[in-house]
Structure 1
Amino acid sequence: MTDQDSARRTDHDSPWKDALDSYFEEFLRLLFPSIHGEVDWSRGYSAMDKELQQITADASSGRRHADKLIKVYARDGGETWVLVHVEVQGEPEDGFAQRMYTYQYRLRDRYGVDVVSLAVLADTSPGFRPERFRYARWGCELSFVFPMTKLIDWEARWADLEVSENVFALVVMAQIKAKRLDDGEERQRAKVGLIRLLYERGYSRAEIQRLFHIIDWMIQLPRGLERGFLEVVYAIEEEKRMPYINTAERLGMEKGLEQGMEKGLEQGHHLGVADTLRKQIALKFGELPTWADERLSQASDEQLDEWVVKILSAESLEALLGNH
């Protein structure tokens, strides 16, 4: 793994944030087509990350959500900020709709602009479909409605995703597979299938590399299957005559795997894997409690590999590591 990849995996951004930074127009065109049609794309768009941080600074950090704020221009000439909430946790959240409303009114109150809030739900609970925040008391009533899309609804339209010319279809497929599959070998087959699609669609070298990293981040594999995955990727590249993961990058990824193995053998457990898990847990569930840190330190190689795969679909820290 290259230094750049390591940095991407350990910072506070998720692959969804990378995907939205690179493919915001494609994201709207696929998941919110009616809104896509209202935007004047000829005027471009820009991220408003600092503005979003200012109104979410005091929000609870117990969960991580891939929230993005983008400034676009409407076809009628007006300026609009699009607030995108991506719910990527493994379980529904009771306060999700209220958080949507809180961010909405804070942005509008602070900056005085129209804000369109969009919810993307990547969990696998069919009944969790928040589209409204409402409260009423003594004749005072408020109702806040927001557009929502549920990614698992695309499972019934999987064939459409496979043939879609929209690059964001690959992101949606990768997220669904990451949530649905716990078995390492099944995840490897799904990941290889998506990577093969990259090379079959005629994308540019830069496009393939960018999407490769997003898919690689989303669908993580047990360490023991990583080398086999890379070998299949190299075979696809040779077949397509598209060596887009360059030699230095290949060697860097393989060297990282080899060093991880050596380090694990020398010290009795996978310190590198345990460290990665600590960072993933902090991103998803918040600060690592003492009992969980001790459990990671005492875990076997096989247990660490299992947790690396299961963390993407785990509903809680206790469900991932077991009750303490």
Structure 2
Amino acid sequence: MNSTNADFDSVWKQAIERYWTDFVELFLCERWDGLGAPESQDQELHRCSRDGKLGLFRVDKLLRTLGSDGLPCLWHIEIQVARQRGFAERMYVCQYRLYDHFHLPVRSIAILGDPSPTWRHDHFDLTAGKTHTKFEFEVVKLRDFEGRIAELLLSDNVFAWLVSAHLCTLHTRREPMDRFNVKASLLTGLNTCDWSQEKFLNVYDLIDRMMSLPEALQVELEKQQNLLAGRHQMAWVMLIEQRAEQRGLERGMAQGLEQGIAKGMEKGMEKGMEKGMEKGMEKGMEKGLEKGLEKGLEKGLEKGLEKGRDEGRTAAMRNMLESQLALRFGPLDESTRLRIAEGALPELEKWTLAVIEAKGINEIFGSLT
């Protein structure tokens, strides 16, 4: 089959606009809490994009926001999915033209999504005599995330999933059937994210458009997804997580009460003995029980919630793995289901990633006897 083109540019631009906080947290390791969403300046670009002497230039995303000093600045974000001669120079030209037009500081960021592991331009130098200009800009190389795919697929960050989809798309650019299998796995896996239905559908659409398939394979994928990841499937996964969290709460409350009562009785007895048998016991028991119950409940609830969430995530991963295996290899036998049911979270993560390239179930689990 012929190679399949991918829609990278429009997907990345829309994702940056919709999920700015996730973009900043994953790629720049910064937090955006309490700050308003940046204001798009894309409509202003045509006013500064023409120059009779220097010709046209293109900017992928231009945003106006506040800098760390509280003063306004611009963010120029370029998405580059192929090696390009003179790319660093183009970043420099964009930077000084934008400054000339807006008279604001410009933060320049390049997202390099090309297949090459070594192409990484992050500066541009000009020298004439003793005059030296050095322009440096921030670079995010998507290939750097290749060793972190398992970690990304356990994240609720939108761009963690987009990076995974982008890298898988690069690796399957000449293999439509492989892309079909990987895309089905990623779309099914989105059900494990703790998102609203609207956000789930938005991210589903972004990955669906990025990982474009030949028409026949796309039709087949949509049929499978309608069966496996429809409303019933989403409701089922959410129900598992809710029940697991509820079980964690119940266990936490029971443990908290038990610990609180024990601690309260111990402290109450100790203080009561010091102040006199009758009155000391009464007041000490009351105060000790109150503080002990409060601390015990707090600790027990915290541990119970954490355990409940872990159980919910493990159950969702088991469900996703079964769905992926059924998609690729047909109905599962009892030994395979038992192996999945007994698998811990690290094993489930490893098996889920192995489905993408495995030719048969035995390659994923080894011999099932």
Provide closer, same or farther for how the CA distance between residues 51 and 206 of structure 1 changes in structure 2, counting only shifts above 3 A.
same
Q: Which residue of structure 2 aligns with residue 69 of structure 1?
A: 62
Q: Which of 225, 229, 242 pairs up with 2:221?
A: 229
Q: Which of 108, 112, 125 pairs up with 2:116?
A: 125
Q: Which residues of 2 match residues 145-184 of structure 1 at below 5 A? A: 145-181=136-172, 182-184=174-176
The amino acid across from 1:42 in the alignment is L
Asked if 1:46 is matched to 2:28, the reply is no
Q: Which residue of structure 1 aligns with residue 128 of structure 2?
A: 137
CA distance in 2, matches of 1:146, 1:41: 26
Provide closer, same or farther for how the CA distance between residues 185 and 13 of structure 1 changes in structure 2, counting only shifts above 3 A.
closer
**Matched residues, percent identical?**
29
Q: Which of 175, 199, 216 pairs up with 1:207?
A: 199
| CA-to-aligned-CA distance 1:177-198 (integer Å, 9 cap, x gap) | 1222121111011111111122
CA distance in 2, matches of 1:160, 1:52: 37
CA distance in 2, matches of 1:111, 1:94: 27
Shift in Å, 1:145: 0.3
Q: Which residue of structure 2 aligns with residue 14 of structure 1?
A: 10
| CA-to-aligned-CA distance 1:64-101 (integer Å, 9 cap, x gap) | x7710111213431112111001023xx1111101111
Q: Which residues of 2 match residues 61-100 of structure 1 at below 5 A? A: 67-89=60-82, 92-100=83-91
The amino acid across from 2:18 in the alignment is S
Provide closer, same or farther for how the CA distance between residues 60 and 156 of structure 1 changes in structure 2, counting only shifts above 3 A.
farther
Provide closer, same or farther for how the CA distance between residues 110 and 209 of structure 1 changes in structure 2, counting only shifts above 3 A.
same
**Which secondary structure state, in structure 1, belongs to the residue aligned with residue 229 of structure 2?**
helix
Whether contact under 8 Å (1:15, 1:214) holds in the other structure is yes
| CA-to-aligned-CA distance 1:204-262 (integer Å, 9 cap, x gap) | 1111111111111110111121121011211222451459xxxxxxxxxxxxxxxxxxx
Asked if 1:111 is matched to 2:102, the reply is yes
CA distance in 1, matches of 2:22, 2:191: 19
The amino acid across from 1:54 in the alignment is R
Provide closer, same or farther for how the CA distance between residues 161 and 116 of structure 1 changes in structure 2, counting only shifts above 3 A.
same
Shift in Å, 1:138: 1.3
Q: Which residue of structure 1 aligns with residue 184 of structure 2?
A: 192
CA distance in 2, matches of 1:219, 1:66: 24
**Which secondary structure state, in structure 2, belongs to the residue aligned with residue 86 of structure 1?**
strand
Q: Which residue of structure 1 aligns with residue 19 of structure 2?
A: 23
Shift in Å, 1:122: 0.3
Whether contact under 8 Å (1:40, 1:75) holds in the other structure is no
The amino acid across from 1:205 in the alignment is Q
Shift in Å, 1:141: 1.2
CA distance in 1, matches of 2:56, 2:102: 22
- TM-score, structure 1 as length reference: 0.64
Provide closer, same or farther for how the CA distance between residues 53 and 156 of structure 1 changes in structure 2, counting only shifts above 3 A.
farther
CA distance in 2, matches of 1:159, 1:13: 25
Whether contact under 8 Å (1:52, 1:68) holds in the other structure is no
Root-mean-square deviation (CA, aligned residues, Å) is 2.4
| CA-to-aligned-CA distance 1:98-155 (integer Å, 9 cap, x gap) | 1111111111111111110000000011221000011112112110001101101100
- Structure 2 gap segments, 5+ residues each: 1-5, 237-369
Provide closer, same or farther for how the CA distance between residues 179 and 57 of structure 1 changes in structure 2, counting only shifts above 3 A.
farther
Whether contact under 8 Å (1:13, 1:66) holds in the other structure is no
CA distance in 2, matches of 1:114, 1:32: 18
The amino acid across from 1:21 in the alignment is E
**Which secondary structure state, in structure 1, belongs to the residue aligned with residue 60 of structure 2?**
strand
CA distance in 1, matches of 2:132, 2:233: 60
| CA-to-aligned-CA distance 1:138-179 (integer Å, 9 cap, x gap) | 112110001101101100111121112211111111111122
CA distance in 2, matches of 1:147, 1:172: 18
Q: Which residue of structure 1 aligns with residue 276 of structure 2?
A: none
Whether contact under 8 Å (1:195, 1:212) holds in the other structure is yes
